[in-house]
Amino acid sequence: MRCPFCSHEASQVKDSRPTEDGASIRRRRQCEDCGARFTTFERVQLRELTIVKSGQRREPFDRMKVERSVAIACRKRPVAPERIEKLVSSIQRQLETSGESEMPSSRIGEMVMDGLRALDPVAYIRFASVYKDFREAKDFEDFAGLVGEAAQE
Q: Give Cα separations from 49 to 77, 89, 101, 104, 142 (angstroms).
A: 31, 15, 5, 11, 35
Helix (H) or strand (E) holding 20: none
CB-CB neighbours of 128 under 10 Å: 23
The whole-model pTM stands at 0.63
Helix (H) or strand (E) holding 6: none
Residue extents of the structural domains in the chain = 11-43, 50-152
| Residue ranges of the chain with per-residue pLDDT less than 50 | none
CA 100, CA 90: separation in Å to the nearest integer? 16
Which burial class, exposed, middle or buried, applies to 39 when counting CB atoms under 10 A from its CB (0-12, 13-18, 19+)? exposed
pLDDT digits (tens, 9 = 90+) for 102-145: 999 999 999 999 999 999 989 998 898 887 777 777 777 777 77
CA 97, CA 100: separation in Å to the nearest integer? 8
